Amino acid sequence: NARWPNSKDHTMYWSKTFIPTLREDPGEAEIASHRLMIRAGLTRRLAGGLYSYHPLVLRSLQKLETIIREEMNRAGAIELLMPALQPREVWEQSRRYSIMGEVMFKLKDRQGRDLVLGPTHEEVITDLVAHEIKSYRDLPKTFYQIQTKFRDEIRPRFGLMRAREFVMKDAYSFDISLSAADKSYQAMYDAYCRIFERCGLRTKIVEADTGAMGGKWSHEFMVLADAGEDGLVECPSCSYAANLEKAERSVPLAEQAVSSEPLRKISTPGARTIEDVSSFLGCRPSSLIKTLVYVADGKPVAALVPGDRDVNEKKLQNVLEASTLSLADEATIQRVTGAPVGFAGPVGLRIPIVADISLKHAVNRVVGANKADAHMLNFDINRDAAVSLFGDIVIARGGDGCPRCSGSLAEERGIEVGHVFKLGTKYSQAFGAEYLDEKGQRLPIVMGCYGIGVTRTLQAIIEQQHDANGIIWPPSVAPYQAVVLPMSSTPEALRVLETLKASLEQAAVDYIVDDREERAGVKFKDADLVGFPMRVVISEKSLANGKIEIKARGDASAEMVPPGDAVITIKNLLSTAVPTR
């Protein structure tokens, strides 16, 4: 380092680390945070869903991990580290070897034994606890680890958002009863709130489906963003918010004043889809009723929903109390309707029919006629079909009634950064994780599991905190809190630089000095692109007035302060540098 030599200190110089910034947007990136991570030189892709963490983002990752550890430890959780490489047997024991399916990376060792790369650790931790925890005196316990997970995602994309190898903080709680488990759940929930707040993220907590975890109750921590892969609804009038996979809605059930016309069959040649039929008949899609044939626990059922709505299969499955549900194949549809796919209808069907609650008083609707190229007009659901069950079975959407109050739901998109589940005893029963209570009775341990996508969270911070010029890191997770740009090498400027460095170190503000032989414009651009919260410029011009320039990344203008006031100014700005947008 020719211009700013000082071999005795621990200063990080830009020229000595590795920050391969790019002038142009990378072609591979579709969303802002992914583009910025690559342009700011934070990461590079090795292959689909596999990324290297460069020095700067590694610092952010380590800071985020420190926040997570502090909050986990404060909540009483105990850190451990389990193998990423796991034997097939534990996954057979929970019956998830096949349920997880293709998402698990599977391999064989030299003896031909099957192994997997852990996508999550319920199996391993429950096996451990089953062997080591015996008594109510050993409980409660919450274990956590910060570890690399592997998932062969169908569509790895958006950089670290959906990767195939990523860092997760996962935690598992073990309790003697449901009510004790509720306390452990609440402790993790509260810790998650603090973690996301400390890393400058605004999150929305939503009710979520429990999916393959097989639990009973769960919440997701969502970062609202247009680029989010999850749909969610929230009620502006009350606190209800839920993932679309789970969201309920309320439906006004006033009887319709219209009287029904006589049922009548009409020919609709080639019109199979809702769009085909509605344009053929010149009616709105909502005046049609879709009939979908499913197979629930091996038996065919028909689901009726308004033409402009989609079935929520999870809700349908719950309404049916079925343990498996899938769309029927073509042969089954033909067998139960007697017609080719596209013309199924409820009239005369001899399988159980479930209808969406909004159809309770439906009259004068268009339905399939169970005959090729034909539909029925003036369908009256109470007159013309034998509906066995009405329920809320469609995907909720903006404008639907809130299920908890009289408000109406708004739709948003979000990035899931964290997830907390009440698991119950599914895994403890599969692994025989039991404890002896005071009376010597053997009981299954009640579990919870909790995950934070650590690397996804880092990118979500960027998605929430950036502008046209680059990233705006919250100070708590910024790679460095300040970047110092020495624009002059006069003895005075060098002296000011050395004093500033010493006082930043004393105040525990971490910083990087941009010592590159580059034009000022390039350095300013890169400082904004990488997004250090504070920028300090030492130039001859400002020193002539006895000042140096300090600017917060999120602020429009800079402050000119005497060098002696620099650190206090920086400290003040850092403490108020809250998320901007």
In the complex, the smallest distance separating the C-beta of residue 155 from ligand ATP, rounded to whole angstroms, is: 10
279-288: Cβ within 8 A, 24+ apart: 281/366, 281/375, 283/366, 284/308, 287/364, 287/365, 287/366, 288/365, 288/366, 288/367
Q: Which two tokens stand for residue 429?
A: 């029963």
In the complex, the smallest distance separating the C-beta of residue 15 from Mg ion, rounded to whole angstroms, is: 42
39 binds Mg ion (CB under 5 A): no
417 binds ligand ATP (CB under 6 A): yes
Considering only 34, 35, 63, 419, the residue that binds Mg ion (CB under 5 A) is 419
How far, rounded to the nearest angstrom, does the alpha carbon of residue 321 sit from its chain's CA centroid?
Answer: 27
- The partner in contact with residue 168, picked from Mg ion, ligand ATP, none with C-beta cut-offs of 5 to 8 angstroms by kind, is ligand ATP
Q: Are strands 410-424 and 230-234 parallel, antiparallel or unpaired?
A: antiparallel
The 3-state secondary structure of 508-527 reads CCCEEECCCCCCHHHHHHHH
- Report how far residue 367's alpha carbon sits from residue 378's, in angstroms, rounded to the nearest whole number: 9
In the complex, the smallest distance separating the C-beta of residue 497 from Mg ion, rounded to whole angstroms, is: 48
Listed ranges 288-296, 394-402, 418-426, 527-535: which one lies at the site for Mg ion (CB under 5 A): 418-426
Residue carrying structure tokens 């001899």 = 350
In the complex, the smallest distance separating the C-beta of residue 75 from ligand ATP, rounded to whole angstroms, is: 17
Q: Bridge-partner residues for 306, per DSSP? A: 289
Q: Are strands 389-391 and 325-327 parallel, antiparallel or unpaired?
A: unpaired
In the complex, the smallest distance separating the C-beta of residue 230 from ligand ATP, rounded to whole angstroms, is: 7
Considering only 51, 144, 150, 166, the residue that binds ligand ATP (CB under 6 A) is 166
| 156 in Cβ contact with 121 (< 8 Å) | no
456 binds ligand ATP (CB under 6 A): yes
Considering only 416, 434, 515, 528, the residue that binds ligand ATP (CB under 6 A) is 416
| 307 in Cβ contact with 368 (< 8 Å) | no
- Report how far residue 228's alpha carbon sits from residue 475's, in angstroms, rounded to the nearest whole number: 24
DSSP state of 394: B
Listed ranges 8-16, 35-43, 105-113, 452-460: which one lies at the site for ligand ATP (CB under 6 A): 452-460
Listed ranges 30-38, 321-329, 449-457, 524-532: which one lies at the site for ligand ATP (CB under 6 A): 449-457
Considering only 63, 96, 246, 419, the residue that binds ligand ATP (CB under 6 A) is 419
Nearest residue relative to Mg ion (C-beta): 419
159 binds ligand ATP (CB under 6 A): no
Nearest residue relative to ligand ATP (C-beta): 453
In the complex, the smallest distance separating the C-beta of residue 209 from ligand ATP, rounded to whole angstroms, is: 9
Classify the C-alpha dihedral 280-286-289-295 as positive or negative: positive
In the complex, the smallest distance separating the C-beta of residue 199 from ligand ATP, rounded to whole angstroms, is: 13
Considering only 59, 63, 151, 246, the residue that binds ligand ATP (CB under 6 A) is 151
163 binds ligand ATP (CB under 6 A): yes
In the complex, the smallest distance separating the C-beta of residue 355 from ligand ATP, rounded to whole angstroms, is: 29
- Report how far residue 36's alpha carbon sits from residue 292's, in angstroms, rounded to the nearest whole number: 44
Residue carrying structure tokens 């105040």 = 507
Number of residues that bind Mg ion (CB under 5 A): 1
3-state helix, strand, coil in the chain (%, to 5): 30, 30, 40
- Pick the closest to residue 272 from 255, 291, 297, 253 (CA basis): 291
Residues 6+ apart with CB under 8 A from 248: 242, 315, 392, 396, 403
Q: Are strands 105-108 and 50-53 parallel, antiparallel or unpaired?
A: unpaired
Listed ranges 247-255, 393-401, 414-422, 464-472: which one lies at the site for ligand ATP (CB under 6 A): 414-422
In the complex, the smallest distance separating the C-beta of residue 166 from ligand ATP, rounded to whole angstroms, is: 4
- The partner in contact with residue 355, picked from ligand ATP, Mg ion, none with C-beta cut-offs of 5 to 8 angstroms by kind, is none
- Pick the closest to residue 163 from 241, 78, 103 (CA basis): 103
- Report how far residue 411's alpha carbon sits from residue 242's, in angstroms, rounded to the nearest whole number: 10
Listed ranges 49-57, 167-175, 416-424, 486-494: which one lies at the site for Mg ion (CB under 5 A): 416-424
- Which CB, 170 or 248, lies closer to Mg ion? 170
- The partner in contact with residue 120, picked from ligand ATP, Mg ion, none with C-beta cut-offs of 5 to 8 angstroms by kind, is ligand ATP
314 binds Mg ion (CB under 5 A): no
- Which CB, 337 or 459, lies closer to ligand ATP? 459
In the complex, the smallest distance separating the C-beta of residue 243 from Mg ion, rounded to whole angstroms, is: 9
200 binds ligand ATP (CB under 6 A): no
Q: What beta strand segments (E) does 404-554 contain?
A: 410-424, 434-436, 442-444, 446-453, 466-467, 470-471, 482-486, 511-513, 534-538, 548-552
- The partner in contact with residue 417, picked from ligand ATP, Mg ion, none with C-beta cut-offs of 5 to 8 angstroms by kind, is ligand ATP
453 binds ligand ATP (CB under 6 A): yes
Number of residues that bind ligand ATP (CB under 6 A): 15
Q: Which two tokens stand for residue 334?
A: 């033909």
| 528 in Cβ contact with 520 (< 8 Å) | no
Report which residue type is found at 152. Answer: D
Considering only 162, 375, 501, 535, the residue that binds ligand ATP (CB under 6 A) is 162
- The partner in contact with residue 356, picked from Mg ion, ligand ATP, none with C-beta cut-offs of 5 to 8 angstroms by kind, is none
Binding site residues, Mg ion, CB under 5 A? 419
Binding site residues, ligand ATP, CB under 6 A? 120, 151, 153, 162-163, 166, 168, 416-419, 451, 453, 455-456
